[in-house]
Amino acid sequence: MFTRLLKYNVFNGSKMELMEYIEKFSKVNIVSGNPEVLYNGLKDNLLLTSFTASRSVIIPDGVGTLLASKMVKVPIKEKIAGIEIMEEVIKKCSMENKPIYLLGAKQEILEGCKENLKRKYPKINIAGSHNGYFDLENCEDIVCDIKKSNAYALFVAMGAPKQDIFIARNMDILPCRVYMGVGGSFDVLAGKTKRAPKWMIELGLEWLYRVCKEPYRIKRLSSIPKFLLKVAEYNKK
């Protein structure tokens, strides 16, 4: 059910198998394992400890991760996009009346995300929210607000590595059961940005679509060859 990449165990099942698997945890951190996130973990002990903990599940959210799995000859069956898992968790929370907390993005994006989620899932209980513009070293008030919300799931949309650092630092002291860094997902849910056409997603070209729409992202693609090189070097040992 897992493919070993460097120091990581990456989930190697279907989206539905993942949803069944995370039910086993009393607390779970769902890590969107694209090369950028995983490469960040190799450089930071806090993140590495968090990503490799027994309560973390790394999902293959990136074509670079799939390429790496082929290099180690244990190919991952399918890419699992973080935003799709986020929506599956939200759907479950809506059906079972479990509250969620949204943390991240600009205030207007956050509000748009909340409005659209309530429209799509009328029964969803958004127990609290806060934008992503705060100091990680001085955010006790936000942590307290999340505690008070008693949310079942916490979605953090602040980009890597900030969102992953927040989860790693606060998972032990928060009551939430599901933790997930979701990058730009609030922008998509708010309707500000769109996902790639289905055919591009199926061909593993969503990254190309996003770069064309947001050219600044091209700098972040450098993590893909760096990560693949690390995998190649490690595989030779």
Cβ-based burial of 230 (10 A; exposed 0-12, middle 13-18, buried ≥19): middle
pLDDT tens digits in sequence order for the chain, 237 residues long: 999 999 999 999 999 999 999 999 999 999 999 999 999 999 999 999 999 999 999 999 988 999 999 999 999 989 999 999 999 999 999 999 999 999 999 999 999 999 999 999 999 999 999 999 999 999 999 999 999 999 999 999 999 999 999 999 999 999 999 999 999 999 999 999 876 677 776 666 666 666 666 665 666 667 888 899 999 987 766
State the Cα–Cα distance between residues 29 and 18, nearest whole angstrom: 12
The CATH number for 34's domain is 3.40.50
The per-residue pLDDT for 126 is 98
Asked, for residue 196, whether it belongs to a domain, the answer is no
Cβ-based burial of 91 (10 A; exposed 0-12, middle 13-18, buried ≥19): middle
Neighbours of 25 (CB within 10 A): 15
Going edge to edge, which strands form the sheet with 8-11? Answer: 2-5, 8-11, 56-59, 28-32, 178-181, 153-157, 100-104, 126-130
Asked, for residue 114, whether it belongs to a domain, the answer is yes
Q: How many domains does the chain have?
A: 1
The per-residue pLDDT for 208 is 61
Which phi and psi (to 5°) does residue 62 adopt? 160, 140
Q: Do 5 and 72 touch, CB atoms closer than 8 A?
A: yes
Host domain of residue 86: 2-186+223-236
The per-residue pLDDT for 235 is 73
Asked, for residue 197, whether it belongs to a domain, the answer is no
The per-residue pLDDT for 214 is 66
State the Cα–Cα distance between residues 38 and 51, nearest whole angstrom: 8
The per-residue pLDDT for 218 is 61
The per-residue pLDDT for 198 is 76
Q: Which letter, b or e, does each residue of 94-127 get, where b requires 16 or more Cβ atoms within 10 Å of its Cβ?
A: beeebbbbbbbbeeebbebbbeebeeebeebebb
Asked, for residue 117, whether it belongs to a domain, the answer is yes
Asked, for residue 200, whether it belongs to a domain, the answer is no
